[in-house]
Each structure stands twice: as C-alpha cells, then as structure tokens.
C-alpha cells in the first residue's frame, strides 16, 4: 500500500490513433500506465501546462465521426472538461471549419495562461485563459500566401509554434508552406526559408512552400532554431534569416522529429527516417541522434531500443521533460513508447502494442503525490469515448 509524500513525479501523456494513455512514474524507471481515455478518438496534440498550481493536461481530440475538440484535465486525467462552445472555432466569415488540432503549446512561465495552438486548416490560435478559448491569429490567416500553401500527406497544418522569451518573436512551421516569422508577437508574418530545400518543387529554393516537418528553439541562444525538413536538417543562428545544413553525420536527413534541450545550449535530438520514399528507420534500426554542439556532430543513441523496427516516429511523437538530466521520450507508429532518463543514452520501453502513437508529451509535476502511483491511477476512472 502506498503512502503520500511530497515529491516530484513524472507524467507522460501518449496520444494515439485511438485514444490517450497516461504513464506516471516517480523515478522514470518504473512507469504505470492508465487509459485509454477518449477511446476511438485520435489524440494528435497534447500540451502539459505546469505553470499553475496544478498541472493542466490539454489534448486535441478528433473523432472521425464527431469532429475535433479540445479537452483539458486539471487532475492528471481523472476528469476531463470540454468547453461547451468549443475551445477552437473558426469565426463567421472565414468559411472554414476546424479539422484537426496539431499543436498545443503552453507559452513561457512569464506569460501564464497563454497557450498557442496550430491547426488544420493551416492556422495559428492563441488562448489567454489556459487553453479554454482560443482566438484565430488573423495576421497569418489573412496572409497573401495562404492560398498557395499546400497539404502534406497528413493534411495542411501549422504544426510547430516557437515563441522567444520576450514574446515578440514567433516562428511557425507549416506543411507545406515552410517557416513563417513574426517580430511583433504574431501581428504580422513573413516567410523565412532561405537555405531550406524544397527539392519537390520546380524551383527548389522558393521563398515559401517548403515542407518543414518540425522546428525547435535552442534553449540558451536567442535567435537559434533547428529544423527537421522533408529531407534536410538545418539550423539558423539569425532568427530564421538564413538556414544552414547540419545533416552531416546523420544516417539520413529525412525524419519528422526535432527536440531541443530545455536549458543547455547546442543540444538537440532527431530520429532519422531513411527517406521520403522509404519511411522506416535506416536499415530497420531505430536510433535517436543527439548533437551537443548545435549540429556540428551527432551521436547515435540506441541502447535499449529494439534490434529491428520498421515503424516511423511522427513529428509530435517525441518530447523532452525539464528534469536534470533531461528525459527523452518517443513513440512509434507500431505503438511502442520509449523513455530515457539520461538524455537518450539509454531507453526503456514504457508501453507496447498501443495504436499508432501520434503525440507524446512529458512533464515533471510537483506536489503531494502517492508513492503508489499504480493505486492512484487505478482509483481514477478512465472515460471512454469522446462524448463522455
């Protein structure tokens, strides 16, 4: 029987094609799994907001039948709330309807309550009430390029949002369209793709139209971002003005994931996929690659990962936590989820045989926790379907 203690614990939220699972741990070695929540709805986006007194888990939920919505839980999954009028709703006059929520991004601790969302059709949204209601970013929606943005295989979406510490610089990545930058907190936007290849277009170096799969900001160097492109891995040191290749040393320059360290300069992780035309880990050998020098060199990390794996890892199916050392997490389309408590040096399997993993997010949660996480999880009910 567990007792109560004031301690840090870890929560790992796993969004899949057919529901959400939550894993809890007190040591990042032993994990207890609960779920499914929202059974038969896909969960393509998760945000864990640890800025308030209680961690809030926000999920983008999408039912093939009943459409998309945003729900949140303030008790680590025991209960879920869905705003009656819907958290994200295209305003009248746009003649658009929300298809899918691809990204839920809690802003910095200095802007509590601010949460960004990236959606399909390509759009960016901002909430100032902790993710309960979002407003459409008109600057991007009304951008003259919008009619020329296209759809990647998974749909046309804004899938990455990065906000700098001051809140003035906002970078968005979309497939397809590429990277757009705002220097005024999101009021106006310009394409910033110089150096990023769009080999699939007649002009391989267009102003926009690139298929950037994921971007992430360096934690310590202002203006430095990393991008995993549809072939190509890049870094910018000048706030997106120029992108340079950092793919040398990787087994492949295709992939979907780009993660950065929460505090340390120059550290990023990618999970290479062989090629656009062959979407499996290179040679069927799954590995994470980490750079500690901003992409000058890469280290292959595969301890604890299976010898053979033919499933890809999707763009949001990977995450870091904020612990020291940093935890690295990812899930495959084959339903396996792996966790590392040592920045990728070694992994353990947290879950297996789940539906396709679309999104994972991890967080350190503080407060009074049961030392018997399994019992605590068993006590929590798991709502089944979207309309619960």
Partner 1 sequence: MPDITVVLPSVLQPLAGGQSYLTTPADGAVTVESLLDAVTGDYPVLARRLRDETGSLRRYVNIYVNGEEVRRLKGLDTEVAAGQEVLIIQSVAGG
Residues near partner 1 (CB under 8 A): 40, 63-67, 69, 82, 84-86, 89-90, 95-98, 385-388
Of 96 and 365, CB closest to partner 1: 96
Of 50 and 63, CB closest to partner 1: 63
Q: Could you tell me the smallest distance in angstroms from the CB atom of residue 146 to partner 1?
A: 17
**Bridge partners, 20 (sequence order):** 15, 37
Q: Could you tell me the smallest distance in angstroms from the CB atom of residue 87 to partner 1?
A: 11
**Bridge partners, 335 (sequence order):** none
DSSP 39-102: TTSEEEEEEEE-SSSS-EEEEEEEETTTEEEEEEESSTTSS-B--TT-S--PPTTS-----EEE
Pure H helices in 288-384: 373-379
Of 53 and 64, CB closest to partner 1: 64
Q: Could you tell me the smallest distance in angstroms from the CB atom of residue 252 to partner 1?
A: 28
Neighbours of 202 (CB within 10 A): 6
Q: Could you tell me the smallest distance in angstroms from the CB atom of residue 95 to partner 1?
A: 6
Q: Could you tell me the smallest distance in angstroms from the CB atom of residue 20 to partner 1?
A: 17
Of 67 and 154, CB closest to partner 1: 67
Of 118 and 121, CB closest to partner 1: 121
Of 93 and 202, CB closest to partner 1: 93
Token pair of 262 as six digits? 């929460």
Q: What is the largest CA-CA distance in the chain?
A: 65
Strands 348-351 and 190-191: unpaired
Q: Could you tell me the smallest distance in angstroms from the CB atom of residue 311 to partner 1?
A: 16
156: helix, strand or coil: coil
CA atoms of 324 and 262, how far apart (whole Å): 10
């Amino acid at each position: 029987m567990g007792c109560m203690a004031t301690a840090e614990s870890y929560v790992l939220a796993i969004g899949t094609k057919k529901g959400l699972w939550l894993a809890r741990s007190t040591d990042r070695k032993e994990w207890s799994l609960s779920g499914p929540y929202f059974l038969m709805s896909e969960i393509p986006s998760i945000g864990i907001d640890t800025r308030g007194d209680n961690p809030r888990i926000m999920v983008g939920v999408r039912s093939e039948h009943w459409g998309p919505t945003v729900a949140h839980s303030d008790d680590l999954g025991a209960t879920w709330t869905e705003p009656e009028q819907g958290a994200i709703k295209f305003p009248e006059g746009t003649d658009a309807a929300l298809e899918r929520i691809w990204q839920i991004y809690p802003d910095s601790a200095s802007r509590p309550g601010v949460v960004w969302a990236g959606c399909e059709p390509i759009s960016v949204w901002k909430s100032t009430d902790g993710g309960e209601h979002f407003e459409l970013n008109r600057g991007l929606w009304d951008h003259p390029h919008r009619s020329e943005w296209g759809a990647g295989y998974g749909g046309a979406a804004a899938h990455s949002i990065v906000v700098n510490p001051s809140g003035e610089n906002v970078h968005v990545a979309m497939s397809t369209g590429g990277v757009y930058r705002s220097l005024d907190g999101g009021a106006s936007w310009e394409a910033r793709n110089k150096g990023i290849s769009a080999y699939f277009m007649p002009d391989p170096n267009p102003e926009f139209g690139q298929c950037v799969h994921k971007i992430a900001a360096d934690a310590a160097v202002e203006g430095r971002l990393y991008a995993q492109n549809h072939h190509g891995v890049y870094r910018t040191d000048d706030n997106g003005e120029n992108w340079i290749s950092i793919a040398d040393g990787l087994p492949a320059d295709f992939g979907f994931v780009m993660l950065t360290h929460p505090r340390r300069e120059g550290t990023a992780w990618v999970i290479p996929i062989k090629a656009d035309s062959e979407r499996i880990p290179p040679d069927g050998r799954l590995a994470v690659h980490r750079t500690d020098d901003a992409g000058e060199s890469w280290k292959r990390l595969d301890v604890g990962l299976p010898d053979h794996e033919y499933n890809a890892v999707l763009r949001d199916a990977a995450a870091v936590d904020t612990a020291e050392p940093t935890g690295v997490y990812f899930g495959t389309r084959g339903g396996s989820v792996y966790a590392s408590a040592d920045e990728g040096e070694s992994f353990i399997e947290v879950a297996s045989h789940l539906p396709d993993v679309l999104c994972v997010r991890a967080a350190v949660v503080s407060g009074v926790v049961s030392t018997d996480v399994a019992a605590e999880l068993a006590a929590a009910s798991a709502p089944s379907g979207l309309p619960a």
